[in-house]
Structure 1
């Protein structure tokens, strides 16, 4: 069975086409497009016209690839930017004209798919906290080899926080403090359940964590592997450098893609906050995330 998964995120749109079998998912084609659907007015719950148009044009190209690859089943999901936008349904309706039927998934569904993707790497060997920093939301999932024990999606994505709080170059202490105060107000439940379940590992799902890994590995591409350990001390030194850096300095950092040049600062602050409040023993990257979780769910349903 040949399947296509489209992940319509706040920053990027992803397309994966794969053949599904009992043995796994053989990826034939994949692409990522920096659509920036949440540009400009995400905190006003609005997809601006320019972003709306970029999104539709990207889906038109995705549909061409789906036809060219003779795909049998398509699963397209939209997350925070679309589900919170007052014109999100209008975007879904317009996308249908391109041949793409979009399902707007809840934060809970998003978290479950993320865990499914991370679990497929085999990295979850003990009780762990999975963290996925998106543009519109950030998901936290506690789970073990048997599955999920707790999950929650918070509207503290990197694009949202950047638009609301990143007003200086480099980031000012007052902006940094404002974000930390917001996290204090938002993440009490996360800290409580982590004290209860005591996850030993923090696993970062793709996105910013791929950038952290690349920066820690001299700019080397990490997408060819499913998972890798990250040195916590090395990460903390890197995060301090990122938060103190200017935009221009980050532009020249080897391994940092243009999409994340500024949002990586927000991602570092979010990750630091979690590391400071929860005593993890290890830190890992999973390059499998939401889209791979959906793909593996389809494999379970349709693989032969």
Structure 2
């Protein structure tokens, strides 16, 4: 059996997934995440030394964890947290010097393709439709038909980057929500093909998982339910934007690590639902890390 660890250095979280595989079949053995919040360390497009050291600390911890399991293959990639800064090379070089780990910085196109590959091969998406990966620093959209990508894009907005840029408190005010909504609409207008309608959306990433958990908790559905009507997500956003004590309690009960980013993330999510007239959302258990595993690690012509 082959084993390895894959780390996704994101804008909001740094996640380690440990996999085991034989041939084309893989199994997730363990997930571990750290809420590093790297987007909060970016000012004027520069990731600060403090932010770089936060990444180094987390990656060193993950490296030590794998050593305890006697797993010597660790792959690290960065997304918007390292892609959308002006000191990418400095950050990557410092991480390698401190931790001994090389970091591959994915392009927006690669991130979208890996998310699609992970979701579809992992069984989380139908043969045709729209896939969205709402991360902390960027949002990837992929339209596909009969299992093949027809178009895709990466948008420079995410749940944490919108919070950091526009929100002064814990919850966005009415004016801040309006500003966030305007940016979301502007970015989606750039991406959307005129008249495109996708009744079903496959969602990847922490915002989708958090939205599904909140919807399931509020409706009393099975906690493992991954198929959410779009109307429930719209109602969730409407309820949460009140920002009152009941809202805070519900978020802290269901998704405490998303307390500050859930509303900006839901603004992106509902914007996508509106733009593509989505009726149902399925939340995929697999995404960019599984796609990276298949394409970069396992390889094979079936994934090209």
TM-score, normalised with respect to structure 2: 0.88
> How much has 1:251 moved relative to structure 2?
4.8
Secondary structure, in 3 states, of the residue corresponding to 2:100? coil
Larger RCO: 1 or 2 (CA < 8 Å, sep 6+):
1
Partners of 1:259 and 1:137 in 2: how far apart? 19
Mapping 1:180-219, distance limit 5 Å: 180-192=181-193, 195-196=195-196, 198-218=197-217
Contact 1:2/1:71, CA 8 A, preserved across alignment: yes
Q: Contact 1:204 / 1:285 at 8 angstroms: preserved in 2?
A: yes
- Are 1:133 and 1:157, in contact at CA under 8 Å, matched by a contact in 2? yes
Deviates more, 1:246-255 or 1:26-35: 246-255
Answering whether residue 50 of structure 2 is matched by residue 50 of structure 1, we say: yes
Structure 1's unaligned 5+ residue stretches are: none
Counterparts of 1:288-299 in structure 2, within 5 Å, are 288-297=286-295, 298-299=297-298
Aligned to 1:285: 283
Alpha-carbon distance between aligned partners in 1 of 2:249 and 2:87, rounded to the nearest angstrom: 33
Across the aligned residues of Structure 1 and Structure 2, the Cα RMSD in angstroms comes to 2.7
CA contact (8 A) 1:218 1:254 kept: no
> What's the counterpart of residue 64 of structure 2?
64
SS of the residue corresponding to residue 198 of structure 2 reads coil
Unaligned runs of 5+ in 2: none
1:167-222 Cα shifts (integer Å, max 9, x gaps): 356533322222222233222243226x34x32311111301111111122289x9
Alignment correspondent of 1:249: 247
Match of 2:268 among 254, 267, 270: 270
Looking at structure 1, the residues matched to 218 and 252 of structure 2 have their Cα atoms a distance apart, in angstroms, of 5
Kindly indicate whether residue 135 of structure 2 is the aligned counterpart of residue 137 of structure 1.
no
Note the alpha carbon deviations across 1:93-139, whole angstroms, 9 max, x for none: 12213121101111111111111111123232242111111111111
Structure 1's 75 and 147: CA in aligned 2 closer, same or farther, altered over 3 A? farther
Listed as ranges, the matches of 1:155-166 within 5 Å are: 155-166=156-167
The runs of at least 4 aligned residues of structure 1 exceeding 6 Å deviation read none
Equivalent residues of 1:219, 1:255 under 8 A apart = no
For residues 301 and 58 of structure 1, what CA distance do their matches in structure 2 show? 31
Q: Note if contact 1:63-1:99 (Cα within 8 Å) is conserved in structure 2.
A: no
Q: Which residue of 2 aligns with 1:25?
A: 26
Alignment match, 1:120: 121
Counterparts of residues 99-118 of structure 1 (less than 5 Å): 99-118=100-119
Deviation at 1:58, TM superposition (A): 0.8
Which range moved further: 52-61 or 87-96? 87-96
